[in-house]
A = this chain, B = another copy of it.
């Protein structure tokens, strides 16, 4: 699961009519694809079946806005094959991505924490499919299922780590390192080394000018770590890119993969300090 299988190129951007590029790269865009969200997939069969009744598959179009700051959360989303960015807005026009949600997570964490209003913007960054559920139903199901609660608590924790690490990362690391990290995070979530993503959009996510991305991406390409042309990005050398990225990548990944801290040296030690839930 750490190894990225060179999968088909995901049409991460377009919900527009099929183009030549798409025909060259038929991705898993069918809405009935049995790709599962990890949080849902980990539930006991019975609970999963019950939830399924209230879950509705939806197509996620590129640049669709799921939440806007200050607005009520109407649905939660469990990504199957898609990618959602969480953006903090400041000064009405500047934005910065603070979190990235794929099939490993859920969009709508404030609901889990008792807040029905989003304080961030949630934006579809990779088109595809997700399962969604109405907020009221979700809250009811959440109360019924300790397993779901537990899974979502753990995910909330990893999201918190991600956001905190991103804060420091944006403060201390240069664009090139951050870009490398971002590409790796995206790769992990779409499980492919190829995806569509313009420099303009990347600039928006990292909170820098497009020109800053041009420069950083150019440097990575010259080092033969990535390759890109007009919105098609390929990771050529994953390990090399990891070396080019800041350590933030590993820190966050470790917490997400194993629920344990990223500073530990022990490579695969089970998370002994992770506590049991619901057994009191």
Q: A residues bordering B, Cβ < 8 Å?
A: 69-73, 86, 88-91, 94-96, 98-99, 109-120, 135, 139-140, 143-144, 150, 153-154, 156-157, 159-161, 163-173, 207, 246-248, 251, 255, 259-264, 271, 273-275, 277-278, 280
Of A69, A111, A116, A275, most buried by chain B (CB within 10 Å of CB) is A275
Which 9 pairs show the lowest CB-CB distances between chains A and B?
Answer: A167-B167, A113-B157, A70-B261, A116-B273, A88-B168, A70-B263, A143-B280, A96-B168, A72-B273
With contact pairs A90-B246, A96-B172, A164-B163 given, residues A273 and B117 touching in the complex (Cβ less than 8 Å): yes
- The verdict on A94 contacting B172 (CB below 8 Å), with A88-B165, A114-B157 known, is yes
- Do the beta carbons of B171 and A115 come within 8 Å of each other? no
Task: Given the known inter-chain contacts A139-B275, A275-B116, please indicate yes or no for A110 contacting B165, CB distance below 8 A.
Answer: no
In the complex formed, the residue of B with least CB distance to A135 is: B275
Q: In the complex, what distance in Å separates the CA atom of A105 from the CA atom of B51?
A: 34
B154 touches A90 (CB 8 A): no
Q: Give A260's nearest chain B residue, CB to CB.
A: B117
Q: List 8 A-B contacts (CB under 8 A).
A: A90-B169, A90-B172, A112-B153, A113-B153, A117-B261, A166-B167, A167-B167, A168-B207
Given contacts A70-B261, A91-B172, contact A164 B119 (CB under 8 A): yes
Measured in the bound complex, the distance between the Cα atoms of B111 and A274 in whole Å is 9
Nearest residue, chain B, Cβ from A165: B88
Besides A90-B246, A120-B164, A163-B164, 9 more A-B contacts (Cβ < 8 Å) are A89-B168, A99-B164, A114-B150, A115-B274, A115-B275, A117-B261, A119-B251, A144-B280, A160-B163
Bound-state CA distance A117–B171 (Å) is 24
Question: A117 contacts which chain B residues (CB < 8 A)?
Answer: 260-261, 271, 273-274
Which chain B positions have C-beta within 8 A of A70?
A: 261-264
Which of A70, A110, A171 gathers the greatest number of chain B CB atoms within 10 Å? A171
**In the complex, residue of chain B having the shortest beta-carbon distance to the beta carbon of A111:** B275
Rounded to whole angstroms, the CA-CA distance of A150 and B139 in the bound complex is: 13
Q: Are B167 and A88 in contact (CB under 8 A)?
A: yes
Contact A171 B207 (CB under 8 A): yes
